[in-house]
């Protein structure tokens, strides 16, 4: 029995020592407190000099913590100013109706009686896919239904599938549309080098691509409306300085579960604020990898697709932007897409979306600084706002301030964290984000808690990207369900053998337990209501940790 009790006694004494370090010196009775904390394990006496603890706390731990708080407060102001700036630009666009049709020349494509369809440019539509059994019919069908002269469009299916059954399904679907007069090509390679970027790069090497002027790209779960090309191509035809026209995503499964509702709120803000403000103010934003149309000449001048990071879309956009090409974002043109409804799939996606930009920043920072084709203001925008603040700092700040510094502050009552940084500024930033999805306003508390949980994975991904760690080029295809979302067979799709073990996420559980300890300490010894937030945030981490998130 003694052998089993030893670890428990050790943990108890260690926790007492931790509380002594954290709480020492903050009580009015510290002067009369005993100068030695003693405990014993199996007769072996352990003692901790409380005087030394108080000195260490006063001269080392507290100053370091104050410094970290000060850094977080500065970053909080920077993030707030950036949010205000983007929303003011969007407000300007709305108030003065500065739609792209008024800024750039736009006229509908018209057929010439003498030359017929020759007035229409040749368009290539690319659909990269990998074992997309659930959505291949939807994506290929949507691309083949695009309204455009049949002799002026080529649909290219870039199939990297490894499953022979799925390959046959792709062949059957392509054959069906080919029999209806659609010029459709199914291209395959004998490897998956470079993943999506490699497939797109290989697809551009075929001879028929040289006949095309523009290329539209749709991921396997995207379904453009039939008039997509009619509304987007004219911007490229009538404005030779424009390289990219990007449409907004619309989510057909946003109501599937609470997690998809949270994603919808974040992505709607991304398009409303980041994309629209970038398009309006700098004629530059990050290509989203899908639902966009590129001018082939701009792609070739920028060097084409590159698989050096997992964000080949952003890589191409930055290189083209540094050459002076302009980008146009169309908020009114939407393309149906699917959000990941499984938590692990969403985690993999967020790792790629945070790791890739950080790694690209590492690889391109010198190139951006040395560039002489764009203005100094655009370079500052790229380095500070586009990359450093939005793609790197904001992830670190969100996790370390709200999930580490703020919870740990319950042990440092002598360190003052102003209310404007913990309530007023976060509330305003959250309000900016919720405006993009008014119907989800009542879910704002859940969104805040869920975003803080995901900030842990984004921070980890950003670290890996900046330091170019082992998982820097990890690419896990986001699982898509397509029509299976509407069927009763959904629980049987990809059902793991051990549901409980598959759902456990240890990192979330560890952080959740720490937050719960901080909340209990704040409730017992604190003099603020911070513990209310900590209990809710701990619950969010623990719920995510046991896998009760998503479908």
Nearest to 128 by CA among 9, 207, 221: 221
| Strands (E) located in 130-195 | 153-159, 184-187
How far is CA 416 from its chain centroid? 32
Nearest to 412 by CA among 58, 73, 76, 72: 58
**447 vs 495: CA distance, rounded Å:** 27
Cβ neighbours for 337, distance < 8 A, ≥ 6 positions apart: 219, 221, 222, 223, 249, 250, 251, 252, 290, 291
Give the 3-state secondary structure of residue 130.
coil
Locate 465 and state its tokens.
């990207």
Cβ neighbours for 148, distance < 8 A, ≥ 6 positions apart: 120, 123, 229, 230
Secondary structure percentages of the chain, helix, strand, coil, to 5: 60, 10, 25
Contact by Cβ (8 Å): 230, 106: no
Find the radius of gyration of the CA atoms of the chain: 27
* 313 part of the active site: yes
Contact by Cβ (8 Å): 174, 186: yes
Catalytic residue among 159, 160, 221, 307: 160
Q: CA quadruple 475, 348, 497, 169: dihedral positive or negative?
A: negative
* 160 part of the active site: yes
Q: Are strands 153-159 and 223-224 parallel, antiparallel or unpaired?
A: unpaired
Any alpha helices (H) in 207-289, and if so which ranges?
228-238, 258-269, 276-282
- What number of other Cβ atoms are within 10 A of residue 171's Cβ? 14
| Strands (E) located in 42-122 | 44-49
Any alpha helices (H) in 275-416, and if so which ranges?
276-282, 296-302, 312-321, 343-370, 376-380, 394-400, 406-408
DSSP label of 479:
P
Nearest to 325 by CA among 282, 386, 359: 282
Give the C-alpha distances (Å, rounded to integers) separating 187 from 200, 529, 530: 10, 60, 57
- What number of other Cβ atoms are within 10 A of residue 430's Cβ? 17
Contact by Cβ (8 Å): 330, 232: yes
Catalytic residue among 159, 219, 307, 313: 313
Partners of residue 550 on adjacent β-strands: 342
Residues acting as catalytic residues: 160, 313
């Amino acid at each position: 029995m003694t052998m089993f009790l030893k670890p428990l006694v050790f943990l108890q004494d260690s926790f007492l020592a931790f509380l002594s370090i954290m709480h020492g010196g903050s009580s009015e009775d510290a002067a009369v407190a005993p100068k030695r904390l003693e405990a014993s394990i199996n007769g072996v006496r352990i003692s901790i000099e409380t005087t030394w603890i108080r000195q260490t706390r006063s001269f080392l731990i507290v100053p370091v913590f104050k410094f970290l708080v000060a850094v977080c407060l500065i970053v909080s102001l920077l993030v707030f100013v950036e949010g205000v700036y983007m929303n003011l630009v969007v407000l300007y666009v709305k108030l003065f109706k500065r739609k792209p049709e008024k800024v750039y020349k736009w006229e509908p494509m018209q057929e010439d009686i003498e030359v017929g369809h020759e007035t229409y440019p040749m368009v290539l539509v690319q659909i990269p896919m990998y074992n997309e059994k659930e959505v291949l019919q939807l994506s290929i069908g949507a691309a083949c239904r695009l309204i455009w002269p049949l002799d002026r469009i080529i649909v290219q299916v870039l199939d990297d599938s490894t499953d022979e059954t799925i390959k046959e399904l792709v062949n059957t679907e392509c054959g069906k549309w080919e029999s209806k007069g659609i010029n459709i090509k199914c291209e395959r390679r004998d490897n998956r080098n470079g993943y999506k970027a490699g497939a797109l790069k290989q697809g551009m090497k075929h001879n028929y691509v040289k006949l095309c002027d523009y290329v539209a790209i749709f991921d396997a779960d995207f379904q453009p409306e039939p008039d997509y090309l009619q509304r987007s191509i004219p911007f490229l035809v009538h404005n030779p300085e424009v390289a990219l026209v990007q449409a907004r995503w619309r989510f057909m499964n946003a109501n599937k579960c609470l997690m998809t509702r949270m994603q919808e709120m974040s992505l709607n803000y991304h398009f409303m604020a980041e994309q629209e403000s970038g398009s309006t103010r700098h004629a530059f934003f990050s290509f989203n990898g899908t639902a966009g149309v590129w001018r082939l000449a701009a792609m070739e001048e920028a060097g084409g697709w590159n698989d050096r990071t997992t964000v080949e879309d952003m890589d191409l956009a930055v290189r083209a932007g540094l050459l002076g090409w302009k980008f146009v974002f169309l908020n009114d043109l939407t393309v149906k897409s699917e959000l990941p409804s499984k938590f692990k799939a969403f985690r993999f996606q967020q790792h790629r979306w945070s790791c890739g930009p950080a790694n690209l920043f590492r690889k391109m920072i010198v190139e951006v600084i040395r560039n002489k084709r764009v203005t100094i203001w655009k370079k500052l925008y790229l380095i500070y706002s586009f990359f450093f603040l939005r793609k790197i700092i904001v992830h670190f700040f969100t996790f370390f301030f709200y999930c580490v510094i703020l919870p740990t502050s319950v042990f440092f009552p002598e360190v003052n964290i102003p209310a404007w940084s913990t309530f007023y500024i976060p509330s305003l930033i959250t309000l900016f984000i919720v405006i993009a999805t008014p119907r989800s306003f009542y879910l704002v508390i859940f969104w805040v808690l869920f975003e803080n949980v995901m900030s842990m994975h984004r921070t980890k991904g950003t670290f890996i990207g900046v330091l170019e760690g082992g998982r820097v080029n990890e690419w896990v295809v986001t699982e898509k369900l397509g029509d299976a979302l509407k069927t009763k067979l959904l629980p049987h799709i990809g059902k793991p053998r051990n549901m409980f073990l598959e759902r456990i996420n240890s990192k979330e559980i560890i952080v959740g337990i720490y937050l719960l300890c901080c909340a209990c300490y704040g409730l017992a010894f604190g003099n603020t209501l911070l513990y209310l937030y900590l209990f809710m945030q701990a619950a969010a981490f623990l719920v995510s940790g046991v896998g009760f998130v998503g479908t």
